[in-house]
């Protein structure tokens, strides 16, 4: 699965997680999400077909799409069997072995002085997918919200859409993204304080809260703003 296939699959899966009563997305929803990702209609068809060929999605009557169990597992590689790559002179301690005092044990564990090299492009694709799925959910839910929540919901949708564009914009700068993030967090907190809005938008607000937290931490760890590579 290449980067563009992963990004589409993640976006579709996030959209489905925001609507737990449904396990399929319509062709219109799939096309709308893909369009937000910048995919032309022909490429979307090709990507969906390739995901189907890999048994990551399933196509249904009327062009509806669902995510298979294999597809969900592919989006959570940490849950699959770990692959171990050893350099020259390395020592590998396999499962079930006894470990000496002071060692770091467990998934993602790190010993003293170790440096973790993360796939930041992958993590940013995940955030991009989640922002786009949340934006669609906010737009679709707008008319069902009480009047006191509609304006805030619309503003949050606008800020969310703007941030996903910043993620892909090579001319964006860190300060611009930080300002948008601050505005979005204020709006999200306001919506979270409206009981009826929280009930209707809880999954989207939780998803956005996680995305905003990751972006805040990421912005604090970088000196400049590199655009995402699709």
Mean pLDDT for the stretch of residues 18-22:
81
* Structure confidence at residue 218 (pLDDT): 84
pLDDT in tens, 140-153: 888 888 888 889 99
pLDDT in tens, 187-221: 999 888 887 777 788 889 999 999 999 988 888 87
Q: Is the separation of the CB atoms in 71 and 11 below 8 Å?
A: no
State how far the Cα of 75 lies from the Cα of 130, in Å rounded to an integer.
Answer: 13
* Structure confidence at residue 37 (pLDDT): 92
Q: Which has the closest alpha carbon to 4: 33, 37, 27, 52?
A: 37
Collect all residues with Cβ–Cβ distance below 8 Å to 121 and sequence separation of at least 6: 3, 228, 229
Six-digit token string for 159: 């800020």
Residue 67, CB-side half-sphere exposure with 13 Å CA sphere: 23
Percent of the chain with pLDDT over 70: 78
pLDDT in tens, 152-194: 999 999 999 998 988 888 777 888 888 989 999 999 998 888 8
Burial 45-73 (b: 16+ CB within 10 A, else e): bebbebbeeeebbbeeeebbbbbeeebee
Q: Is the separation of the CB atoms in 56 and 70 below 8 Å?
A: yes
Considering the segment(s) 3-74 as one domain, its CATH architecture is: Orthogonal Bundle (1.10)
In the 8-state DSSP scheme, what is residue 224? S
Whole-Å CA distances, 147 to 39, 137, 152, 187, 191: 34, 17, 10, 15, 12
**Who wins on pLDDT, 112 or 190?**
190
Q: Is 36 helix (H, G, I), strand (E, B) or coil?
A: helix
State how far the Cα of 116 lies from the Cα of 109, in Å rounded to an integer.
Answer: 10
Indicate whether 108 pLDDT > 60: no
Q: Is the separation of the CB atoms in 188 and 104 below 8 Å?
A: no
Q: Which has the closest alpha carbon to 153: 126, 122, 190?
A: 190
* Structure confidence at residue 116 (pLDDT): 39
Indicate whether 93 pLDDT > 80: no
Q: Is the dihedral of CA 63, 69, 72, 73 positive or negative?
A: negative
């Amino acid at each position: 699965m290449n980067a563009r296939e992963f990004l589409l699959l993640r976006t579709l899966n996030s959209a489905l997680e925001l609507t737990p009563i449904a396990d399929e997305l319509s062709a219109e929803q799939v096309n709308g999400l893909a369009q937000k990702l910048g995919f032309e209609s022909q490429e979307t068809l090709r990507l969906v077909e390739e995901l189907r060929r890999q048994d990551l999605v399933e196509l249904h009557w009327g062009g509806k799409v669902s995510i298979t169990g294999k597809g969900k597992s592919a989006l959570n590689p940490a849950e699959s069997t770990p692959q171990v790559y050893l350099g020259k002179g390395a020592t590998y301690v396999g499962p079930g072995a006894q470990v000496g005092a002071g060692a770091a044990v467990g998934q993602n564990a790190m010993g003293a002085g170790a440096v973790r090299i993360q796939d930041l492009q992958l993590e940013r694709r995940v955030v991009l997918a989640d922002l786009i799925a949340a934006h669609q959910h906010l737009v679709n839910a707008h008319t069902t919200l009480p009047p006191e929540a509609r304006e805030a919901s619309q503003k949050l949708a606008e800020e969310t859409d703007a941030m996903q564009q910043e993620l892909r914009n090579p001319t964006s700068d860190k300060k611009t993204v930080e300002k948008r993030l601050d505005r979005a967090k204020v709006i999200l907190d306001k919506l979270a304080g409206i009981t009826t809005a929280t009930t209707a938008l809880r999954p989207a607000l939780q998803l956005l809260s996680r995305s905003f937290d990751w972006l805040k931490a990421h912005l604090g760890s970088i000196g400049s703003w590199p655009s995402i590579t699709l």
